Amino acid sequence: MKKSPFFALITLVSIIFSAYPAYGATVFYANGAFTKNGIEWCEENKPLYDLLGDEFFEHHKHSIESRVCANLIEDPLWSYSGPDRVEKLIEQSRYFSELEIAESREEAKVGVVDPTPAQVPGNKTEEKIEESVEKQIEQLAKEQVEETPKQNEVQDVNEDGGGCLIATAAYGSELSTNVQMLREVRDTQIMNTQVGAMFLSGFNQFYYSFSPTIADMERQSPAFKEFVKITITPLLTTLSLLNHVDINSEGEMIGWGIGILSLNAGFYFGIPFFVAIKLKRNLLS
């Protein structure tokens, strides 16, 4: 049997009305805040808001949902990507809803309606961000203050021709004989040649990266101070040899430099190595 157009129209209307309750059951706004569906609705409407601007509110009949959504989009929290983003946005929408309600009450008193979103007095999220930034700045300033004495110590040593930080701490004063000897070797021998100056420049970059810490440890521990004093004695002894020779060329500086390095390698590595071998043989025999 052929169905009439009227029957088809009735069927279409029935389908629409049967689907409407399911659509209407999707709650965007409840208990003074957006629901999860409301946040999704807001995300879907963001491109439209970006395109229309203030006309976005007219498009949505100046509903409270549209104004809350606009405030959410403009809020720094909108770009948050953590796993609890939706929950945070829902809570923030409650705050914006309260602002809208309060503004509506004030507008009702004076008889003037402002269709745009309520102005946010000191956005909560921005306040938290500013507070976090301020704390970070304070922490950086504190660290800078703590670091400045050590930096000044190193800078003073470099600028005024001071001696070795570790040796100064070990012998208690820059005026001690050994520290003065190191300064004299540096100024009258090593720095008088280009290759020596280049070596010292590179060495200082490495040396001053750890020497302030060692010097602090020496000041805090007399036992460690004595240990360091004994440890650096071979180095000071070999360097003192440079005060008894004339270095008049780059080649001589290179030769003496290799000689000093070889002597120290023997003191600090060669002798302990042979002693260890000797002890091992005695234990095995």
- Which residue segment(s) compose the domain that 215 sits in? 161-284
pLDDT, average across residues 11-37: 57
Residues 169 and 58 grouped into a single domain: no
Contacts of residue 123, Cβ cutoff 8 Å, sequence gap at least 6 = 75, 76
- How far is 11 from 14, CA to CA, in rounded Å? 5
Residues 173 and 266 grouped into a single domain: yes
Give the residue from 121, 152, 185 where a domain finishes: 121
In a domain, 139, yes or no: no
How high is the pLDDT of residue 227?
93
How high is the pLDDT of residue 210?
86
Give the residue from 99, 121, 143 where a domain finishes: 121
Pairing outcome for strands 33-34 and 29-30:
antiparallel
How high is the pLDDT of residue 147?
52
Q: What is the pLDDT of residues 79-98, one digit of tens each?
A: 888 889 999 999 998 888 88
Q: Please state, for a pLDDT cut of 70, what percent of the chain lies above it.
A: 68
For tokens 């009227």, the residue is 6
Q: What is the pLDDT of residues 151-189, one digit of tens each?
A: 444 444 444 444 578 888 888 877 788 888 888 888 888
In a domain, 3, yes or no: no
Residues 166 and 276 grouped into a single domain: yes
- How far is 279 from 285, CA to CA, in rounded Å? 10
In a domain, 6, yes or no: no
Residues 168 and 266 grouped into a single domain: yes
Does 35 score more than 50 pLDDT? yes
Residues 76 and 169 grouped into a single domain: no
How high is the pLDDT of residue 224?
92
How many structural domains is the chain composed of?
A: 2
**Average pLDDT score over the chain:** 75
How high is the pLDDT of residue 154?
46
In a domain, 5, yes or no: no
Residues 208 and 267 grouped into a single domain: yes
In a domain, 53, yes or no: yes
Residues 113 and 166 grouped into a single domain: no
Q: What is the 3-state secondary structure (H, E, C) of the chain?
A: CCCCHHHHHHHHHHHHHHHHHHHHCCCCEECCEECHHHHHHHHHHHHHHHHHCCHHHHHCCCCHHHHHHHHHHHCHHHHCCCCCHHHHHHHHHHHHHHHHHHHHHHHHHHCCCCCCCCCCCCCHHHHHHHHHHHHHHHHHHHHHHHHHHHHHHHHHHHHCCCCCHHHHHHHCCCCCHHHHHHHHHHHHCHHHCHHHHHHHHHHHHHHCCCHHHHHHHHHHCHHHHHHHHHHHHHHHHHHHHHHHCCCCCHHHHHHHHHHHHHHHHHHHHHHHHHHHHHHHHHHHC
- For residues 124 and 95, the answer to whether their CB atoms sit within 8 Å is yes
Residues 226 and 170 grouped into a single domain: yes
How high is the pLDDT of residue 267?
84
pLDDT, average across residues 1-25: 46
In a domain, 215, yes or no: yes
How high is the pLDDT of residue 119?
62
In a domain, 115, yes or no: yes
In a domain, 19, yes or no: yes
More confident residue, 200 or 147: 200
Residues 40 and 116 grouped into a single domain: yes
How high is the pLDDT of residue 235?
87
Name, of 22-31, 146-155, 230-239, the range with top average pLDDT: 230-239
Give the residue from 121, 139, 169 where a domain finishes: 121
**Other beta carbons less than 10 A from residue 202's beta carbon:** 10
Provide the whole-model pTM.
Answer: 0.42
pLDDT, average across residues 34-63: 82
Residues 165 and 116 grouped into a single domain: no
How high is the pLDDT of residue 23?
38
More confident residue, 120 or 283: 283
Does 135 score more than 70 pLDDT? no
Does 108 score more than 50 pLDDT? yes
